[in-house]
Structure 1
């Protein structure tokens, strides 16, 4: 994890040397998440979503680039739940590296891409309150689809909302008929270093 952070910091340092080509940002906020297949319905598990972003500027409208994030996901039974599940909660701590493409239209930026997540550790609690982590095998390497948008209030500050869903099952196939796929919605503040993002005028429909 530290190696990837150092690599991205080197990129950020380089933005001062080639500000016309790269932009560096800090992102920080939260996830609300659930896991399809665990019978715990609803987005009730909060978690941290924070890290660094570097984008390469292709032109006035398009950017591409990676992020390096600490991202917490999972699922949780609400206090007033009528869900029938053998689980009470999942908590996944991951190092996440999304690779995103961005399209800007004035203050609004649409985004889409894919991410690789490395599972750092996790905890699974059964419906009786017992820790069943050792009996619940999850994949170390996870992959997800990402879609979202950012509205910029100034060249430096923006608010990002992002939807994410795992592409493959996150549980290990041990011959048990289960299929777990995580989903999350992230709400994050975005601060872009230096002069920030340019805010091109909206596209004229004519």
Structure 2
């Protein structure tokens, strides 16, 4: 797990951490949190929190449109809302996430986003009250999601983003689908937009 995190962090900063001299490209460092659930596991509510971090590049197409690929480390899962209930279950899923988004600037500070996200499952663990055990082999490694969100520009090099993702396909024979909300802050590197 530590090796995967080290490689992921290195690749993120290698690809996105440098300032690109082209005026139509802006790179950003992304950090935030996720709230997720697994549809089909009979545990409603976005009760499982997680971390989101990585990098993004924004390629300006016109004054209104831009293309934005990202590489993120994303934690998903679900859990019962009350540990004292008769059945306690907590899923912990770690993904490398690659969103590909089309952005449309509706106002100088607000941008709408839509696209798809390809997630690759690094590991999956389940705690049913007796501690976590490995369940990675029981789930599909690849998860394709549709994605939509909005970004608010706070300053020239700083913005906040809220996004929703939902799986296209079932994750396993139990008919699970990932559903999650991401809230992130973006620190843009280099010049102004």
TM-score, normalized by the shorter chain, greater than 0.5: yes
Point out the structure with the larger strand share.
2
Aligned residues: 187
Q: What is the TM-score of this pair, normalised by structure 2?
A: 0.87
Aligned CA RMSD, in angstroms, stands at 2.4
Match of 2:123 among 121, 124, 129: 121
The aligned counterpart of 2:70 is 67
Check whether the contact 1:165–1:183 (CA below 8 A) recurs between aligned residues. Answer: yes
Matches within 5 A, 1:34-113: 34-79=37-82, 88-104=89-105, 105-113=107-115
Q: Give yes or no for contact 1:34–1:75 (8 Å, CA) kept in 2.
A: yes
Partner residue, 2:147? 146
Shift of 1:65: 2.3
- Asked if structure 2 preserves the Cα contact closer than 8 Å seen for 1:8 and 1:54, the reply is no
Aligned partners of 2:54 and 2:70 also within 8 Å: yes
**Once superposed, which parts of structure 1, at least 4 consecutive aligned residues long, lie more than 4 Å away?**
none
1: CA distance between counterparts of 2:63 and 2:125?
A: 44
- Structure 1 position 192 matched with structure 2 position 193: no
C-alpha distance after superposition, 1:139-194 (max 9, x if no partner): 111111110001111111111000011111112x3xxxx21001011111111111
Q: Where in structure 2 are there 5+ consecutive unaligned residues?
A: none
Tell me, yes or no, if the aligned pair for 1:74 and 1:90 is still in contact at 8 Å. Answer: yes
Contact 1:34 1:41 in 2 (8 A): yes
Once the two structures are superposed, residues 70-115 of structure 1 have per-residue CA deviations (whole angstroms, 9 ceiling, x without a partner) of 0000001112776x86x60111001011101111121001101101
Question: What do the CA deviations read for 1:3-42 (whole angstroms, capped 9, x no partner)?
Answer: 7953773465361x21x22110111100000000000110
- Structure-2 residue corresponding to 1:6: 11
Preserved CA contact (<8 Å) 1:73 1:92: yes
Contact conserved, 1:169 with 1:179, CA < 8 A, in 2?
yes
- Structure 1 distance, partners of 2:64, 2:144, is 27
